[in-house]
């Protein structure tokens, strides 16, 4: 309720400035790994896993409210070890629609039952264009 009140109160200032002045995106978020702040303490893989966990939590929140959002995972497997890759596949398997990108096809677990499409680039007179590779 406090957030809605503040949004209403600051609406004209936001419109005038063309920027959101209120909301959780304006707050600093401190993530902790045990009793240590993740920033400066967590490994690269741990930081990546925490960020992915936050994204999946937002996805699950939307699902719990009755919508069935598309789960977008942009090159996430590259930074995960095999155990975390398997766990992510299990979460993604419960989604209605999932779109995954990967720079390296081998990063995506091969036994994942999913439709795979390769996209490549080719040169044309008008410039470079992307295409589905059979």
Q: Band of the pLDDT at 114, cuts 50, 70, 90?
A: confident
Question: Is 55 within 8 Å of 64 (Cβ atoms)?
Answer: no
For the whole model, what pTM was predicted?
A: 0.67
Task: Supply φ then ψ for residue 120, to 5 degrees.
Answer: -125, 175
Mean pLDDT of 30-56: 88
Average model confidence (pLDDT) for the chain? 88
Tell me how far CA of residue 7 lies from CA of 18, 23, 58, 65, 134, in angstroms: 14, 8, 21, 22, 50
Q: Which domains, from first to last, does the chain contain?
A: 1-30 (no CATH), 31-133 (3.40.50.300)
Instruction: Note the pLDDT of residue 105.
Output: 84
Q: Band of the pLDDT at 16, cuts 50, 70, 90?
A: very high
């Amino acid at each position: 309720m406090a957030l809605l009140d503040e949004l209403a109160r600051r609406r004209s200032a936001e419109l005038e400035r063309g920027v959101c002045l209120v909301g959780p995106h304006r707050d600093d978020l401190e993530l902790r790994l045990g009793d240590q702040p993740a920033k400066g303490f967590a490994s690269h893989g741990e930081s990546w896993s925490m960020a992915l966990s936050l994204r999946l939590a937002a996805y699950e929140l939307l699902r719990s409210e009755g919508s069935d959002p598309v789960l977008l995972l942009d090159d996430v497997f590259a930074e995960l070890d095999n155990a975390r890759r398997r766990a992510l596949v299990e979460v993604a398997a419960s989604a209605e629609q999932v779109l995954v990108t990967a720079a390296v096809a081998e990063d995506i677990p091969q036994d994942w039952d999913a439709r795979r499409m390769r996209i490549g680039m080719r040169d044309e007179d008008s410039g470079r264009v992307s295409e589905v590779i059979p």
